[in-house]
Amino acid sequence: MELLKGKTGIVLGVANHRSLAWHIASACSRSGARLILTYQNDRLGENVRELAKDLPSAMTFPCDVTADADLAALAHFIGESAGRLDFLVHSLAWARREELEGEFLATSREGYREAHDVSAYSLVALARLARPFLQAGGGGSILALTFHGSQRVFPGYNVMGTAKASLEAAVRYLAYDLGPDNVRVNALSPGPVRTLAASGVKGLVRMLDLYRQRAPLRRAPDPAEIADAALFLLSDMGRGVTGEVLYVDGGYHLTGV
């Protein structure tokens, strides 16, 4: 089904073929979307440009979301290359490795600031950047990736838990601001998947085991399931949904013991 036929979108956060952003971008492309993929730095750029060859007519562009100059250059690129946008996928997060072990209590001021800048504030900056391009297309959909560590304690997730809580609140405030423009803003909250970012979180293997044992569906999500949920929220199928956090975690979040 070509759910995104005729639509143009930007996907931020592809690092390699395991990235959730890559699974989502591939699904969007198969569904008919024209894509811009961004990459964080030159080191990742070569890989992302190589991957993008598999997606018909995908463009690539560098963007470190902490650099205002990169964001301005990205806005210029979107204007020149596409002129309008129908969707934006924010699939990125980062915290210093030393903040993702031991006690949350030990979080440094700089570690807290950086994690929130990259992982939460960037959604606000990107939504503002994208707004005129989404308006030009008559509206659209913004999607961020979050994790249940925003609501419950996952030992070691630490400062990323507070950053995801901030991200989820930003989703609601942005949904309120952009709703009159017919722009929807939502988040997906997947269970654990082995990726580069996830490898920085202590206890990933144990977490995967727990999901297999306790989630009602008795499994951690498959990346394809996450990509399908993204398609729902990015396409007109999700046209009545905004400000929402949709769990794709086999139901794990509803369990007590």
Ligand X SMILES: NC(=O)c1ccc[n+]([C@@H]2O[C@H](COP(=O)([O-])OP(=O)(O)OC[C@H]3O[C@@H](n4cnc5c(N)ncnc54)[C@H](O)[C@@H]3O)[C@@H](O)[C@H]2O)c1
Residue ranges binding ligand X (CB under 6 A):
13-15, 18-21, 40, 44, 63-66, 91-94, 118, 145, 147, 190, 192-193, 195-198
Tokens coding 3:
């759910």
- What is the nearest approach in angstroms of ligand X to the Cβ of residue 56? 22
| Count of C-beta atoms within a 10 Å radius of residue 72 | 11
3-state secondary structure (DSSP) of residue 47:
helix
Report the residue number, 94 or 252, with the smaller CB distance to ligand X: 94
State the catalytic residue, choosing from 164, 211, 247, 252: 164
State which residue, 133 or 154, has the beta carbon closest to ligand X: 154
What minimum distance in Å lies between the beta carbon of 183 and ligand X? 20
> Which ranges in the chain belong to alpha helices (H)?
20-30, 42-52, 68-81, 109-116, 122-136, 158-178, 204-214, 223-234
For this structure, is 53 an active site residue? no
Least distance (Å) between residue 125 CB and ligand X: 11
Burial 44-71 (b: 16+ CB within 10 A, else e): beebbeebbeebeebbbbbbebeeeebb
Per annotation, catalytic residue among 39, 157, 211, 252? 157
* Rounded Cα–Cα distance for residues 68 and 255 (Å): 41
Q: How far apart are CA 132 and CA 200, in angstroms?
A: 36
Q: Please give the structure tokens belonging to residue 134.
A: 């989404």
Burial class (CB in 10 A: 0-12, 13-18, 19+), 182: middle
The CB-of-193 to ligand X minimum distance in angstroms stands at: 4
Instruction: Tell me whether residue 29 or residue 137 sits nearer to ligand X (CB atom).
Output: 29
Decide whether 133 or 147 has the Cβ nearer to ligand X: 147
Question: Taking the complex as a whole, how short is the minimal distance between the CB of residue 165 and ligand X, in angstroms?
Answer: 12
Looking at the Cβ atoms of 137 and 230, the one nearer to ligand X is 230
Residue 164 annotated to the active site:
yes
Active site residues: 157, 164
